[in-house]
Amino acid sequence: MELNTYQQEAFDYQRKNIETYGKRAWGWTIFYVLCILVGLYALYLQIAKGHGVTGMRDNVVWGLFIVNFIFFIGLSYAGAIIAGILHLSKVTWGKPIIRLAQFMTLISVIVGPIFILLCVGRFDRMHHLFIYPRIQSPLTWDVMAVVTFFAGSVLFLYLALIKDFSVYRDAKLDVPKWKQKLYKILALGYRGAASQKRHLLISQNLMAIIMIPLSIVVASILSWIFGMTLRPGWHSTIFGPYFVLGAVYSGCGLLIVAMWFYRKMYKLDYYFTDRHFKYLGYIMLVLAAGYGYFTFSEYFTAWFGSEKWDSELIHKLFNPAEYGWWTFFANFAGIVLPIAIVAIPATRKPGPITLVAFIMVIAMWVKRYLIIVPTLETTLLPMQDTRAEYVKYAATWPEWALTIAGIATFLLFFTVMSKFVTVVPVSGLEDTHTQHEQHQLQHEYH
Amino acid sequence: MKQEEINDKGRRDFIKTAAIATVAATACGSLACSCSSKKATTGDKVKLLSPNGEIVEIDSAYLKHEEHMAIVSKLEAREGIAGKKFVMVVDLASCKNARSCVSACQKWHYRPKETEWLTVKLLQDSEKAAPYWFPKQCFHCDNPPCVKVCPVDATFKRQDGLVLIDNERCIGCKFCMAACPYSTRVFNWDEPDQPFDIRSLTSNPETGIPAKVGTVEKCDFCPDRAREGLLPPCVEACPNGVFYFGDENEDTVSNGLETVSFSQLIKDRAAYRYQEELGTKPRVYYLPPKDRSFPVEKGYQDADSAIKERFKDYKDLLEAKE
């Protein structure tokens, strides 16, 4: 297809990234694979010896695996919402980061559900979910939601890639035969004809329109796995929106981190500009405020109402001898810090924003841990007449190994995908730089 | 009906059904050496129905009692016993944490040590109130939060009020455990330690055995025994007649010592259901611990050290009165 000069420039600039799989990429790939292998060994232990190798027990029946599931699935929903909005909106600055958001969507919706498989006692029976489905169960809703969402995110990403595939196909890239062939197949014979353009655009718009509400629905369903039970801290009417906001918020943070990372590694300063960090920083600030508001509402009503189990849970969360410091970290690093750093003009720079976004993503993981574990440790009947090791949850090394393996899988997918397609979409890119920026950046990097 | 009669009838039924079950199992080859050992024949022939519907005659020497053979199909086990509505009443005034119920339950279900379906809690309703022992089985709620959340219909509510689990369908997601507000359910984290002949049995929701790794289980009110007119082992084992088990439709409950009217009992003794406000509608009623038969600390003093260890945080409550 025809590219305008700006798009051609973007392609030429990134061409080498998809033509080569450099030493650094191989190094990381091997490292990730090693992490995954350790995780697989832990998985083998878990299968051979039973779930007794994990820290989960009769009271705390869910642990790190579910925390990771919520975390990754949240990133996924966030990516879809952000990419959907950026695709539909008229603002052009967002176009270069759509692909990163879509990467995040697809990769996390692959990695997240793996943790569900790790958490169930009998994953040899997972087909029961389809042959004996029971529609009343929020878990069945979630299965439907995740499957639908997975299909949606594959389509959404693929539709956005078709034009690029045709560019790669036509460019006679210096890549192996199979890769050329794959580009050709994936481009679906796209030539940039007017009717093709129109159909593609309509499909993309439709997918964007579908993905935004779908993300909200599926994030709410995820929250209802907890919200529908009668447990303190979970049985809350705001859990749906709380999870939606938490998902978008953490996803926004990770998008900033990914942007910074690729900007450094592929020298994409021309496409991921300071302005992108600033704008995403603003979005992060607004979401942080919203998330803080929800968190405050949750804790404040539970504390003020002071029902027996709510008080017990609040006491656990705020007692320094129990989860107090974690709660402080989750709320300070997860809410206060991002707001402060973005609000102060002096720190409103890519470096500090990325750092604070990175810490915030970790804090949001901790926050998910604080949603899951302390509630399960707060039983309605006193936790007596039970084995001492059943009272508290402490994750074991197989759980950590599998968590790290999950993160490694996530990063491995990112590495492989960014070597297969350009990180900044080539087609559909518009030059949005101000003249001043253009001058400065072109001078530096071209 | 007097308890003895119930037992007697139950025993007769039991022998009959067990015999059929043994033949069936042997024919299927699922039970190792039911008839294989050589025994002197007695010459006493018994007529039995074979799995293919034929009447066969077998020497009585080859008949063997098989406890725990499921006597109904899995499909029937999901339906429940027609016309019944099982109910339990627990007399808190008579409980002294003797724990015979716990060990009887463990024994009957071949539960590995320390993974109890039945636990005894020490509750204290408010700061000044007197603590009391609180045995807790599954409440078999009429609005069961666990059944609502099961994604594969592995746990289900039957017409006779029981909530059971099909551990061959359970995927082990543990959602039911998170959903149960009473922490009733237990999980087989590791391969359950059970005798070989139990492990080789065919699993059935009514027997609850054999336990399967990676699946959820819980108190089942022993419907296999109820079908035979027997009381659950916890009820029979209790030296103080704490548990009354029976049928709400018949309006009778029995603790093995006396059989009384269910409605009269809960009326006279001001029965309540635990945490009624959760809306789960339990099928277990509690009689308030008024006019106690035993001082509460007795349950702690007489317990063995492992059990004492479990209540060590409540020592003050229990030892102050010594």
Contact B134, B123 (CB under 8 A): yes
A171-180, A325-334, B32-41, B110-119, range with greatest mean pLDDT: A325-334
B-proximal residues of A, 346-385, CB under 8 Å: 376, 379-385
| B94, amino acid identity | S
Name the residue among A50, A61, A137 with its Cβ closest to that of B151: A137
> Mind telling me how many Å the CA of B178 is from chain A's nearest CA?
7
In this predicted structure, the answer to whether residue B249 has a pLDDT above a threshold of 70 is yes
Which residues partner with B287 through β-bridges?
B91
Tell me if A63 is assigned to some domain: no
Distance (Å, whole) CA A114 – CA A141? 17
Q: Do A384 and B311 touch (CB under 8 A)?
A: yes
pLDDT at residue B247, as a whole number: 94
pLDDT at residue B6, as a whole number: 44
Chain position carrying tokens 């007017």:
A194
Chain position carrying tokens 């308030």:
B288
Contacts by residues B288-291 (CB-CB < 8 Å, ≥ 24 positions apart): B288/B92, B288/B93, B289/B92, B289/B93, B289/B95, B289/B130, B289/B132, B290/B93, B291/B93
Q: Which ranges of chain A have pLDDT less than 70? A: 1, 430-446
Q: Do A61 and B187 touch (CB under 8 A)?
A: yes
Q: Do A384 and B153 touch (CB under 8 A)?
A: no
Task: Show residues of chain B in contact with A385, CB under 8 Å.
Answer: 116, 119-122, 307, 310-311
Does any CB of chain B come closer than 8 Å to the CB of residue A139? yes
Contact A80, A211 (CB under 8 A): yes
Does any CB of chain B come closer than 8 Å to the CB of residue A119? yes
Does any CB of chain A come closer than 8 Å to the CB of residue B219? no
In this predicted structure, the answer to whether residue B28 has a pLDDT above a threshold of 60 is no
pTM score of the predicted model: 0.87
A-proximal residues of B, 88-147, CB under 8 Å: 114, 116, 119-123, 136, 145
Backbone angles phi, psi at B41, to 5 degrees: -75, 150
pLDDT at residue A410, as a whole number: 95
pLDDT at residue B220, as a whole number: 93
Regarding the domain delimited by B74-287, which CATH topology (the fold level of the hierarchy) does it fall under?
Alpha-Beta Plaits (3.30.70)
Task: List the single best residue of A43, A373, A381 to mutate versus B (max B Cβ within 10 A).
Answer: A381
Cis status of the peptide bond prior to B145, with omega within 30 of 0: no
Sequence-separated (6 or more) residues with CB below 8 Å from residue B142: B157, B161, B280, B281, B282, B283
Residue of A nearest to B171 (CA): A122
Name the residue among B148, B171, B311 with its Cβ closest to that of A129: B171
Q: Do B152 and A134 touch (CB under 8 A)?
A: yes
In this predicted structure, the answer to whether residue B23 has a pLDDT above a threshold of 70 is no
First to last CA, chain B: 43
* Domain locations in chain B as residue ranges: 3-62, 74-287
In this predicted structure, the answer to whether residue B10 has a pLDDT above a threshold of 80 is no
Query: Residue B2 — very low, low, confident or very high, per pLDDT cuts 50/70/90?
Result: very low
Question: Higher model confidence: residue B308 or residue A354?
Answer: A354
Tell me if A191 is assigned to some domain: no
Distance (Å, whole) CA B70 – CA B192? 20
pLDDT at residue B217, as a whole number: 93
Q: Which of B71, B218, B75, B236 has its CA nearest to residue B141?
A: B218
> Mind telling me how many Å the CA of A137 is from chain B's nearest CA?
4
- What is the percentage of chain B residues whose pLDDT exceeds 90? 50
> Mind telling me how many Å the CA of A63 is from chain B's nearest CA?
11
**Count of CB atoms situated within 10 Å of the CB of A350:** 22
Distance (Å, whole) CA A47 – CA A36? 16
Q: Do A125 and B174 touch (CB under 8 A)?
A: no
Interface predicted TM-score (ipTM) over 0.85 = yes
pLDDT at residue A431, as a whole number: 56
Q: Do A230 and B170 touch (CB under 8 A)?
A: no
Tell me if A107 is assigned to some domain: no
In this predicted structure, the answer to whether residue B252 has a pLDDT above a threshold of 70 is yes
Tell me if A378 is assigned to some domain: yes
Mind listing the pLDDT tens digit for each residue in B154-200? 999 999 999 999 999 999 999 999 999 999 999 999 888 888 888 88
Contacts by residues A92-96 (CB-CB < 8 Å, ≥ 24 positions apart): A92/A430, A92/A432, A93/A275, A93/A276, A93/A279, A93/A432, A94/A279, A95/A425, A95/A428, A95/A429, A95/A430, A95/A432, A96/A271, A96/A272, A96/A276, A96/A424, A96/A425, A96/A429
Tell me if A198 is assigned to some domain: no
Mind listing the pLDDT tens digit for each residue in B211-222? 999 999 999 999
Q: And the tokens for B255?
A: 């603790």
Name the residue among A50, A59, A128 with its Cβ closest to that of B171: A128
In this predicted structure, the answer to whether residue B14 has a pLDDT above a threshold of 80 is no
Residue of A nearest to B124 (CA): A382
> Mind telling me how many Å the CA of B310 is from chain A's nearest CA?
5
Query: CA separation (Å) from A240 to A208, A214, A227?
Result: 21, 13, 8
Query: CA separation (Å) from A412 to A171, A267, A378, B10?
Result: 26, 20, 38, 64
The parent domain of residue A333 ranges over 229-383
Does any CB of chain B come closer than 8 Å to the CB of residue A52? yes
| A407, amino acid identity | I
3-state secondary structure string, chain B?
CCHHHHHHHHHHHHHHHHHHHHHHHHHHCCCCCCCCCCCCCCCCEEEEECCCCCEEEEEHHHCCCCCCCCCCCHHHHHHCCCCCCEEEEEEHHHCCCCCHHHHHHHHHCCCCCCCCCCEEEEECCCCCCCCEEEEECCCCCCCCHHHHHCCCCCEEECCCCCEEECCCCCCCCCHHHHHCCCCCCEECCCCCCCCHHHHCCCCCCCCCCCCCCCCEECCCCCHHHHHCCCCCHHHHHCCCCCEEEEECCCCEEECCCCEEEHHHHHHHCCCECCCHHHCCCCCEEEECCCCCCCCCCHHHHCCCHHHHHHCHHHHHHHHCCC
Query: Residue B11 — very low, low, confident or very high, per pLDDT cuts 50/70/90?
Result: very low
Which residues partner with B155 through β-bridges?
B165
**Count of CB atoms situated within 10 Å of the CB of A426:** 26
Task: Show residues of chain B in contact with A57, CB under 8 Å.
Answer: 187, 189
Tell me if A322 is assigned to some domain: yes
Residue of B nearest to A376 (CA): B178
Q: Which of A26, A51, A22, A36 has its CA nearest to residue A121?
A: A51
Domains in chain A, number: 1
Tell me if A293 is assigned to some domain: yes
Burial (0-12, 13-18, 19+ Cβ within 10 Å), B28 = exposed
DSSP state of A125: G
Tell me if A42 is assigned to some domain: no
A-proximal residues of B, 269-288, CB under 8 Å: 275, 278, 280
Which residues partner with B134 through β-bridges?
B121
- Rounded to the nearest integer, the mean pLDDT of chain B is 83
Burial (0-12, 13-18, 19+ Cβ within 10 Å), A334 = buried
Task: Show residues of chain B in contact with A309, CB under 8 Å.
Answer: none
Chain position carrying tokens 């990325």:
A354
Q: Which of A317, A321, A280, A320 has its CA nearest to residue A302?
A: A317
pLDDT at residue A8, as a whole number: 84
Task: Show residues of chain B in contact with A383, CB under 8 Å.
Answer: 183
> Mind telling me how many Å the CA of A170 is from chain B's nearest CA?
49
